[in-house]
Amino acid sequence: MANPALILASASPRRRELIARLGVEPQAIAAADIDETPHKNEQPRAYAQRMAREKAAAVRSDHAHVLAGDTVVCCGRRILPKAEDEATARACLALLSGRRHRVLSAVALASPDGTVRERLSETIVRFKRLDALEIEAYIAGGEWHGKAGGYAIQGAAEGLITWISGSHSGVVGLPLFETRALLKAAGFVIG
């Protein structure tokens, strides 16, 4: 039995790799062009869920399911930015050094009939205390660019993490357990 048509609302190569682990191949990739600015006083959980829903809505199709996700790194109630420059990455890493933080990964699946199903993964991550040389070495590697919180867990940063509780794939960018549940509920056949 063939799966329904699926559009992945993300240009992220990591999300494409992750969804492939479920044996699901999107028929199309369409990055959602939306404003990702948090609302004033918006809490991290609500922000992640809103971003996933808005991305799915921006790519909505009458002929295919649309899967969208958003990953937010937060320290307390503070939403950390996607690092687009070294100064931002350095500030994020200094803030996360030696402490726990949360990674919220929201997934939304919009059906052709307009129904939207959602799931949220919450993971707690703890970095070792980073000295200035470790931060500069990580910055020099460039993995931080465009990453929420200034790091990519699937790269060199994994060697700086002392403890994780939750979904590793959620920190990478698409929580597979939650995504699998959404797809199965929508009629996808997943091994």
Residue 51 within any structural domain of the chain: yes
**Which pLDDT does position 141 carry in this prediction?**
96
Question: Percent of the chain, pLDDT > 70?
Answer: 99
Catalytically active residues, by annotation: 70
50-108 pLDDT, tens digit per residue, is 999 999 999 999 999 999 999 999 999 999 999 999 999 999 999 999 999 999 999 99
Residue 105 within any structural domain of the chain: yes
Is the Cβ–Cβ distance between 26 and 20 less than 8 Å? no
User: Does pLDDT of 48 surpass 90?
Assistant: yes
Is the Cβ–Cβ distance between 15 and 56 less than 8 Å? no
CATH number, position 90: 3.90.950.10
Is the Cβ–Cβ distance between 75 and 96 less than 8 Å? yes
Domain tally, the chain: 1
What residues make up the domain containing 53?
6-185
User: Does pLDDT of 1 surpass 80?
Assistant: no
Residue 1 within any structural domain of the chain: no
Residue 176 within any structural domain of the chain: yes
**Which pLDDT does position 69 carry in this prediction?**
96
Residue type at 55 in one-letter notation: K
Residue 191 within any structural domain of the chain: no
pTM of the model: 0.93
**Which pLDDT does position 113 carry in this prediction?**
93
